[in-house]
Structure 1
């Protein structure tokens, strides 16, 4: 995939909120504190460097998060022991408790959220036999900004900190001060289909013996993927079906340079949660045969995004504007405006050819308010008209909020018929092409005004969901870890 520096009502095409457990947004992904650690359901692990040697600690970690009005409190508690296979460190112990408090500011007119984290309370003690490291002072500041877009929230933060430890030599009772300077940043996204956050942290450890330098990369990721499950018996009512695999894992990489101790080296940690497997309904369309969109159609039907009661999908039938628009908005779990309370004054739809009594009407009003869609004219939506390629692409890119990533106005796309792409849609076409959501035909024509068939809509929607499921995760983790 190209990157810039490198997704109920019964209708022909009905898109509904997923009836499997996908109907709740995934929890936000987040590395555990600033130490580069990883965890699963059973165990947490991190690497400790203050001795001059990398020591792996593992054990129990408990994280909690509470929000009260505009204040968010995060609490981390650790009870860890040293590497049980290491003769020197198997008796080492680490206990830590840290509270962070953030002031949350919602900038509703901008669609963004800013937050400022500080450390509220802390305690930490690490023992190696009779030697002890006690956290005497901890100063920390972190600022974050989140862009709350319809299909996905993107966020970024920066943090600085300073830890001061008192070291006591158990044999001589001599005391020393060790100072750890922290400087880091994080980046992440979260949407209906997954979440990933990657944290990069540079640490300078200043000791009486000299300074050490540690860089940690830690990433937490939650995702859902579709897997086809074959059904081997031939005497059956169906040939196979799909499963949704919900998974969560954390990876970290430490690169260290300790001149007075272990020297240079690298360590990697990884923890995976047990995946959740859910079988989905089985498609039984009779008019797909070997159609190129067959897999995409069956995938979306299995998820509940196509809700067909017939055994015939009619793949070459034009996709209607209303059907496609409502489908995409529900597939990405659009944040819908609250329906106004009843009033003596009759409600008027924002487009004269729509009805406020339609159960999905608020999706349209919400999408217009968020800048995802427009009418064909100021007064008409033309819900039953076929949706064109350029209209469909604009909806996807605006839902992502990425149309601003196109070049300065006046640019040309690489398509032969670039001159046929309306000015209002050119940014979306450019970005969708860069993201791999769309491409031209064999002659490199985009055909912007060509109506989209139901099969083509399925292919486009499937690629869009794949972008939300997989491409974002790769960009926010793999591209950073292996750059």
Structure 2
């Protein structure tokens, strides 16, 4: 399969009736960027039809870390590449007799590039509001400078992003008669993450400098401290097989798809010790701690395939999972694991396994059925390949894969009925996540003993697939890149890909970044 994508769709034209029905589809549950706000805290993450979340953060303005807990309400609107977001915080710490109220209104400007990449710039839309009360002292926000920028690289089945954030807050306490105190908190941070169907992950690393100046007992007391906060925010879809206990039943068990949201905050700080009168000393104390929010998993039962004839087969579990997820389609009771999988069948499965990135539910249009929307219209449909008819049962999948940049064909042909080779399968999988750039050059050398047999166009994909654990080779160290894939091997490969999208890449964006720093 060639890697050079066709510049235009070849004009194999047929006319068929497309029924344009606008419906309200169920929104895929998914954690979205910004669900924790930009204040260095953690939340319970996105959930269906929710705009209020459990929230926690650590405050350092008094010279000691104080944990605030409460709720965060979020309201978002999107229009003309501009996102307006309002965050309302209501937090407290009963032990410290402390409360924190905050309202922030952001405006995010989105710029889309011709290559599919996106840049975002976020700033305040209205004046920010924040008041912190700790014991009998009130800290009022007098000035807040803020900027946040991010870069998003959109790939067929995943969006990678990174960015930086900077802010500087100035608080005042007291009055003219009682003596004013000023506390300045400056934060500088970076964030790295991704969004995709099987989950999302983001790591934020924020460094704080806290400076205080006050008058105590007629003397000026100045102190400075530092803090580091690391946030790890993940959402993952997992499958759990639940057995059906009654013996007299039509099925043995069912897979449940569960979504888990987990947010972890770790902090360390170096702050001065204070004497009995509350005056800072030259002694610097180091403190650290962590917070964690986990949500109750949302659960959805999947379909139960009939693969009793495959009991004991080495790929039985992989096949059951793909049928349960409706990645494999058709009559499962006659599935032949030793039959070769065609290129059309493989791409049809990959379009389901490597789904497009879910959109933020807040930006989904709420449409209703109308008579006009149900009206059938005649549209001209062009196939991207001269050997794929628009009437083929696989046309929609192949066309979608082409439009998303997952497949490109070879000389205007796709060869849909030919068995797919391992090399071509790896090209499709790696291209779907856009990781070709991980390879050192266009034709890297892998550690497989039959490296020279890997087609030139599949060298990058084979290298990356080995690096991320999609393939390991056989017991003798051979990849066998030109071997035709059986449906059993395809099931194992696709399920391995899904597991990578669930867990493998998540470790890179959480543990990997934290350990690096």
CA distance in 2, matches of 1:78, 1:334: 33
Match of 2:422 in 1: 389
Give 1:390 deviation, angstroms: 0.3
Partner of 2:280: none
Quote how far apart the aligned CAs of 1:331 are: 2.4
Alpha-carbon separation, structure 1, partners of 2:458 and 2:392: 28
Contact 2:315-2:488 at 8 Å conserved across structures: yes
Answering whether residue 253 of structure 2 is matched by residue 240 of structure 1, we say yes
Paired residue for 2:328, among 295, 301, 306? 306
Q: Residue 23 and residue 445 in structure 1: after superposition, are their counterparts in 2 closer, same or farther (change >3 A)? A: farther
2:353–2:494: 8 Å Cα contact kept in structure 1? no
Distance 2:394 2:144 in 1: 52
- Determine if the alignment matches structure 1 residue 468 to structure 2 residue 501: yes
Cα 1:481–1:411, aligned 2, differ >3 Å: closer, same or farther? closer
Q: Verify the 8 A CA contact 2:443 2:459 in the aligned structure 1.
A: no
Q: Secondary structure of the residue that 1:287 maps to in structure 2?
A: helix
Partner of 2:286: 264
In structure 2, distance between residues paired with 1:221 and 1:65: 21
3-state SS of 1:43 partner: strand
Distance between the aligned counterparts of 1:77 and 1:334, measured in 2? 31
Which residue in 1 is equivalent to 2:399? 365
**Counterpart secondary structure, 2:501:** helix
Q: Which moved more, 1:283-292 or 1:185-194?
A: 283-292
The corresponding residue for 1:404 is 437
| SS in structure 2 at match of 1:259 | strand
Structure 1 residue 217: Cα displacement: 1.0
Match status 1:43 vs 2:49 = no
Native 8 Å contact 1:113 1:146 kept in 2: yes
Q: Distance in 1 between matches of 2:175 and 2:495?
A: 61
CA distance in 2, matches of 1:466, 1:191: 13
1:116 match: 121
Q: Does the residue aligned with 1:356 lie in a helix, a strand or coil? A: coil
Structure 1 residue 23 displacement after superposition:
6.6
Q: 2:88 aligned to 71, 77, 82, which one?
A: 77
Alpha carbons 2:337, 2:486 under 8 Å: kept: yes
What is the Cα deviation at residue 205 of structure 1? 0.6
Asked if the contact 1:131–1:169 (Cα under 8 Å) also holds between the matched residues in 2, the reply is no
Query: What secondary structure does 2:437 align onto?
Result: helix
Tell me the residue number matched to 2:217.
none
Alpha-carbon distance in structure 2 between the residues aligned to 1:33 and 1:26: 16
Greater mean alpha carbon deviation, residues 33-42 or residues 182-191: 33-42
Q: Residues of 2 paired with 1:310 and 1:129: CA distance? A: 66
Sort the Cα spacing of 1:130 and 1:439 in 2 relative to 1 into closer, same or farther, 3 A. Answer: same
**What CA distance in whole angstroms lies between the structure 1 residues aligned with 2:332 and 2:156?**
32
- Structure 1: 5+ residue runs without aligned partners? 1-20
1:33 paired residue among 19, 33, 37: 37
> Which moves more between the two structures, 316-325 or 71-80?
71-80
Matched, 1:137 2:143: yes
Shift of 1:385: 0.5
Superposition CA RMSD, Å: 2.3
How far apart are residue 267 of structure 1 and its match? 1.4
Deviation at 1:358, TM superposition (A): 3.6
Relative to structure 1, the CA distance from residue 204 to residue 416 in structure 2 (aligned partners, 3 Å threshold; closer, same or farther) is: same
Deviates more, 1:435-444 or 1:53-62: 53-62
Show structure 2 runs of 5+ residues with no match.
1-24, 45-51, 214-221, 275-283, 359-376
Matches within 5 A, 1:77-476: 77-82=88-93, 84=94, 86=95, 89=96, 91-107=97-113, 109-120=114-125, 121-168=127-174, 173-208=178-213, 209-261=222-274, 263-334=285-356, 342=378, 347-358=381-392, 360-375=394-409, 377-476=410-509
* In 1: Cα distance, 2:195 partner to 2:161 partner: 9
Number of residues of Structure 1 aligned to a counterpart in Structure 2: 449
TM-score scaled to structure 1, two decimals?
0.87
